[in-house]
Amino acid sequence: MITATPRMTNLFLQLGLDSSQEGIERFLLENELPEDVHILEAPFWSESQVELLRELLCADANWSLVVDQLSEALRACVCQEGKK
Return the closest-CA partner of residue 36 out of 71, 64, 77: 71
Judge whether 47 lies within some domain.
yes
- Long-range contacts of 11-19, Cβ-Cβ distance < 8 Å, separation of 24 or more: 11/56, 11/63, 11/66, 11/67, 11/70, 14/52, 15/49, 15/52, 15/53, 16/49
pLDDT of residue 60: 76
- Mean pLDDT over 12-31 rounds to 96
Phi, psi (5° rounding) for residue 37? -115, 125
Residue 83 pLDDT class (50, 70, 90 cuts): very low
Asked if residue 75 belongs to a domain, the reply is: yes
Q: Can you give the residue range of the structural domain that contains 55?
A: 33-84
Answer whether residue 4 is part of any domain: no
Total domains present in the chain: 1
Q: Is residue 13 domain-resident?
A: no
Q: pLDDT (tens digit, 9 = 90+) per residue, 26-78?
A: 999 999 899 899 999 999 999 999 999 999 999 878 999 999 999 999 998 65
Q: Is residue 48 part of a domain?
A: yes
Q: Is residue 77 part of a domain?
A: yes
